[in-house]
Chain A
Amino acid sequence: MKTRIFPGRYESLAEIAEFVTNEAQNAGLNHQETFELETAVDEAVSNIIEHAYGGEGIGEIKCHCLIEDDGIKIVLEDYGQPFDPSCVPTPDIKAQLKNRKNHGLGFFLMCQLMDDIKFEFYHDHNRLTMFKKKKES
């Protein structure tokens, strides 16, 4: 398992992406799977900064990457407010332009792109665990 700690700032997104995509390649994910993982992690980290911390520069984000036989597990921990994005309404992706909401896509994309997502809320921290399966070679 590899762990790194990042400042809770949007500037960290590119660095987190680099860390996670390197580990995804080590885990044997293909290009498309790695891109999908990068997207889901980006959405998750952006949600932590925006909603759990309520802004940039408030707290840090711990990122663990665990390579497993059939894919990769990403664990993100923060020390902000519990935020469960599954309470956010699912966007209507078939709606016409005038009825499209500008917000609400992040959690939807995470769910579509990852094979498993689990939120845990403790008294002093929050943990999001996501798993991305690799195609059998």
Chain B
Amino acid sequence: MEISTSQFKRCDVVKISGRLDSATSPKLAEELARINNQGRFKIVMDFTQLEFISSAGLRVLIATLKNCKRYNRGELVLAGLPAPILSVFDLAGFTSIFKIYDDVLTAVGTF
């Protein structure tokens, strides 16, 4: 898994490529915590290159979403989910709690 982060004026974009599983999700948790610890809580997850996600990855996302939304200070939104990954989100009931956009540009524009 590769993570690249771009910091914009209104939000941060975190791009993930490869597999997000029990082996790699701690690295994502660390990166998202680093962003939150800088006082930044508006985050777009760019999943266009994401190949796989397990419940370990889903756990990191839900924990970060809760943290971002606390005190109404921000939001973690998702963009560019490949169809098989979107089906896992749907099955886990995540499509009702995350804001999901087709592309990164639209997601960034919501902040």
Residue numbers of A with Cβ under 8 A of B are: 9-11, 13-14, 17, 31-32, 35-36, 38-39, 42-43, 46, 49-50, 91, 93-98, 100, 102-103, 105-106, 108-109, 112-113
Most chain-A CB neighbours within 10 Å: which of B22, B52, B97?
A: B22
Contact status B59-A14, CB under 8 Å: no
Contact of B19 among A17, A50, A98 (CB under 8 A): A17
Contact of A35 among B58, B65, B69, B84 (CB under 8 A): B84
| B residues less than 8 Å from A36 (CB atoms) | 84, 87
Residue numbers of B with Cβ under 8 A of A are: 19, 21-23, 52, 54-56, 58-59, 62-63, 65-66, 69, 83-84, 87-88, 91-93, 96-97
Contact of B65 among A39, A42, A94, A97 (CB under 8 A): A97
Contact of B97 among A35, A38, A91, A100 (CB under 8 A): A100
Q: B92: shortest Cβ distance to chain A, in Å?
A: 6
Instruction: Tell me the nearest residue of chain B to A103, going by C-beta.
Output: B59
Contact status A109-B62, CB under 8 Å: no
Q: B104: shortest Cβ distance to chain A, in Å?
A: 23
Instruction: Tell me the nearest residue of chain A to B97, going by C-beta.
Output: A97
Contact of B59 among A11, A35, A102 (CB under 8 A): A102
Q: Is the interface of A mostly helix, strand, loop or mixed?
A: helix
Contact status A42-B21, CB under 8 Å: yes
Instruction: Tell me the nearest residue of chain B to A45, going by C-beta.
Output: B22
Instruction: Tell me the nearest residue of chain B to A13, going by C-beta.
Output: B21
Contact status B69-A97, CB under 8 Å: yes
Complex Cα distance, B90 from A36, in Å, reads 13
Identify 12 residue pairs between A and B in the complex whose beta-carbon atoms are under 8 Å apart, listed by A's number: A10-B22, A13-B21, A13-B22, A13-B23, A13-B54, A36-B84, A50-B22, A93-B93, A97-B62, A102-B59, A102-B62, A102-B63
Contact status B62-A43, CB under 8 Å: no
